[in-house]
Amino acid sequence: MVAPNSTQGAVERTAAHRTPASSYAGREPKIRIEGVSYWYSRRQMLNGVTLSVPDRAVTVLFGPAGGGKTTLMRLVNRLNDLVEDTQMTGRILLDGEDIYTPGTDVTGLRRRVGMVFALPLPLPGTVRENVVYGPRLAGERNTSRLSEIVERSLTQAALWTEVRDRLDAPALSLSGGQQQRLCIARSLALEPEILLLDEPTSGLDPISTAKVEESLYALKKDYAVVIVPHSVQQAARIADVAAFFLAGELVEWGEGPEVFTAPKVKQTEDYITGRFG
Amino acid sequence: MNRALVQRLGFAFLGLITFVVVVPILLVIGVIVARGIVAINWQFLTTMPHGGMKEGGILPAIVGTLLLTLGTALVAVPIGVGGAVYLSEYARDTRLTRAIRLAIVNLAGIPSIVYGLFGLGMFVLFFRFGTSILAGSLTLAIMTLPVIISTAEEALRAVPQEFRTVSASLGGTRWQGIRTIVLPQALPGIITGVILGLLRAAGETAPILFTVAAFYLPRLPSSPMDQTMTLPYHLYVISTQVPGMPLSIQYGTALVLLALVLSLNIVASVIRRHFRRKRQW
């Protein structure tokens, strides 16, 4: 278990860790990640990550590829349970409760923690079927309740006006940007408390990207939003809280504007200003 | 040699090979249809044989083959598809599952007469089912299982992993993901495997030789414990065991068996196309 960057800026990093995200400091964090390390078939993906995610704000996880951002996200909704040959240490608390306690209701957890993937992945079937998939599995059978869910979720994802007449069209007949907002709506249909988005706009054109970002602004009023952005620019645009990851380590985190205008660690600054990564 | 010429020669060669493959099939079908069609009439299809099988129809053999195929399907499809779901969706890659997969592959290579003898020992004698449709169906089912399991597993694995991840991320249990997404998407492939397996079972002679087939039994079976005539075995009997059998009846019987198998095949591809149209990847 070798920490690849153990020689770089260890002192600076420790200092950065101690700095709390000031205006979120008083609030109880929605998610508390405590000293999480994670190995995938002997390769260390995360090394002692400690981070608080506030409620009703956008938390951005950014940094070069392979930094452990996606891995960390998939630990929060325990999607990594599907992967074999892994090992984790540390704790992840949701509203103060350890989600890795034996006996945790994993499917219930995943309903509370919605996730949107890098590529739009509509399920086979119509627009409507995609939105009601989660609620149906959760046991919702009432058709009028389901119709309400469809309209509410699609509205929240800023897609309702575009697809209200095409609810029974195949989900794949939508454009890429619409499909991705459909995937957001699909997660919102479960009324989660947290929304994880893993480069949700990486496959989209600028206009669709703007629309997805727009829906994020609306969503953070009600949800804890955690997002891996697809560029530093996007990270700077939307971050209330920003966390910079490098090779499995959390280098620096704090309030978005501070991290992007006055980074405390040289590696963060280098990355933001485009000197590497 | 210039590349265009090489390409043209290559295509010509591959085309020739394809032709060589297709010709025997067309010849077999052509000869059987040409010589057998004269024997086919309503009476041939709907009456019992009589006069030492040289007269009358082949109804009990048709019914027997249909019943055997149905019985085989009832046993082999649930077990085969269930096993494939387990292997593809639940089983981890352990020494045990590798051994199971190896066993399945090897089962597919066992000569059918061995299945027949196994069925005789296991179902006819040990379980005391006697020579019966039940024993025959079970024997054919065991022979069919490897085909169904391996094609169904293949079809399940071809469903993109992302669907399972998405389903899980929306609070679906593993089984909910399988039931709502994976199985429906894999259905065309599963049906193909099932039909391929059943077609082979319908045309087999050796496994039913000692387990169900009757040499001459001019009545319809009334229970799963009855013996029955079957088309493949009847064809074997009238071709080799009965002197002076009219050729037209032999070819007519072959034609009926062929038509049965081909029509099952057509039904399968219609079902497959129906489900594939719903699939989107």
Which domains, from first to last, does chain B contain?
A: 36-276 (1.10.3720.10)
Does the domain at A30-272 match CATH 3.40.50.460? Answer given as no
Residue B176 has pLDDT above 50, yes or no: yes
Nearest CB neighbour to B166, from listed A111, A123, A190: A123
Interface A-B, measured as beta-carbon pairs within 8 A, has a size of: 64
Which of B66, B70, B85 lies closest to B141, judged by CA?
Answer: B70
Using a CB–CB cutoff of 8 Å, tell me whether B277 touches chain A.
Answer: no
**Beta carbons of B165 and A79 less than 8 Å apart:** yes
Chain B residue closest in CA terms to A107? B171
Task: State how far residue A110 is from chain B, nearest Cα, in angstroms.
Answer: 5
Percent of chain A topping pLDDT 90? 55
For the segment B36-87, what is each residue's pLDDT rounded down to a tens digit?
999 899 999 999 998 888 888 899 999 999 999 999 999 999 999 999 999 9
Q: How far is CA B203 from CA A277, B135, B224, B269, in A?
A: 64, 17, 20, 19
Please give the Cα distance from B239 to B191 (Å, whole number).
34
Residue A19 has pLDDT above 70, yes or no: no
The answer for residues whose C-beta is within 8 angstroms of residue A37's C-beta and 6 or more apart is A44, A46, A47, A48, A49, A88, A89, A90
Please give the Cα distance from A189 to B25 (Å, whole number).
55
Q: Mark out the alpha helices in chain B (DSSP H runs).
A: 3-36, 42-46, 59-85, 95-107, 112-119, 133-157, 161-169, 174-177, 183-203, 206-209, 231-240, 247-278
Q: Where are the domains of chain A?
A: 30-272
B-proximal residues of A, 125-154, CB under 8 Å: 133-134, 137-138
Nearest CB neighbour to A190, from listed B92, B163, B170: B170
Please give the Cα distance from B253 to B36 (Å, whole number).
7
Residue A8 has pLDDT above 90, yes or no: no
The HSE-up count of residue B140 (CA atoms within 13 Å, CB side) is 36
Task: State how far residue A275 is from chain B, nearest Cα, in angstroms.
Answer: 35
Quick one: tokens of B181?
């997404």
- Chain A residues lying within 8 Å of B169, measured CB to CB: 77, 79, 110, 114-115, 117, 187
- A4 band by pLDDT with thresholds 50, 70 and 90: very low
Chain B residue closest in CA terms to A79? B169
Q: What is the pLDDT of residue A15?
A: 38
The answer for residues whose C-beta is within 8 angstroms of residue A112's C-beta and 6 or more apart is A94, A192, A193, A194
B-proximal residues of A, 19-78, CB under 8 Å: 77
Q: How far is CA A142 from CA A135, A139, A146, A188, B172, in A?
A: 10, 9, 6, 18, 19
B-proximal residues of A, 205-264, CB under 8 Å: none
Quick one: tokens of A89?
């240490």
- Chain A residues lying within 8 Å of B176, measured CB to CB: 137
Please give the Cα distance from A188 to A111 (Å, whole number).
9
**Beta carbons of B163 and A115 less than 8 Å apart:** no
**Beta carbons of A108 and B171 less than 8 Å apart:** yes
Please give the DSSP secondary-structure letter assigned to residue A167: T
**Beta carbons of A114 and B169 less than 8 Å apart:** yes
Specify which residues A253 forms β-bridges with: A243
- Vertex A224, ends A222 and A229: CA angle to 5°? 120
Which of A230, A255, A261 lies closest to A54, judged by CA?
Answer: A255
Specify which residues A197 forms β-bridges with: A116, A227
The answer for residues whose C-beta is within 8 angstroms of residue B61's C-beta and 6 or more apart is B229, B230, B231, B233, B234, B253
Quick one: tokens of B273?
């196309």
Return the residue in A73, A104, A107, A182 with the most chain B beta carbons within 10 A, the one to mutate for interface testing: A107
Task: State how far residue B270 is from chain A, nearest Cα, in angstroms.
Answer: 21
Task: State how far residue B165 is from chain A, nearest Cα, in angstroms.
Answer: 7
Specify which residues A194 forms β-bridges with: A113, A224
Residue B153 has pLDDT above 80, yes or no: yes
What sign has the CA pseudo-torsion B15, B20, B24, B25? negative
Residue A276 has pLDDT above 80, yes or no: no
Better-scored residue on pLDDT, A42 or B138: B138
Specify which residues A242 forms β-bridges with: A60, A254
Q: What is the pLDDT of residue B147?
A: 92
Average pLDDT for chain B: 91
Residue B140 has pLDDT above 90, yes or no: yes
Please give the Cα distance from A149 to A140 (Å, whole number).
10
Nearest CB neighbour to A111, from listed B92, B164, B171: B171
Q: What is the pLDDT of residue A204?
A: 79
Q: What is the pLDDT of residue A58?
A: 93
Average pLDDT for chain A: 86
Q: What is the pLDDT of residue A277?
A: 47
Residue A10 has pLDDT above 60, yes or no: no
Nearest CB neighbour to A123, from listed B173, B176, B181: B181
- Chain B residues lying within 8 Å of A187, measured CB to CB: 169-170
For the segment A127-177, what is each residue's pLDDT rounded down to a tens digit?
999 999 999 999 999 999 999 999 999 998 889 999 999 999 999 999 888
Amino acid letter at A168? D
Please give the Cα distance from A164 to A185 (Å, whole number).
13
Better-scored residue on pLDDT, B276 or A192: A192
Q: What average pLDDT score do residues A72-101 get?
A: 92
Specify which residues A36 forms β-bridges with: A49
Question: β-strand B55-56 against B49-50: which pairing, if any?
Answer: antiparallel
Using a CB–CB cutoff of 8 Å, tell me whether B265 touches chain A.
Answer: no
Residue B91 has pLDDT above 60, yes or no: yes
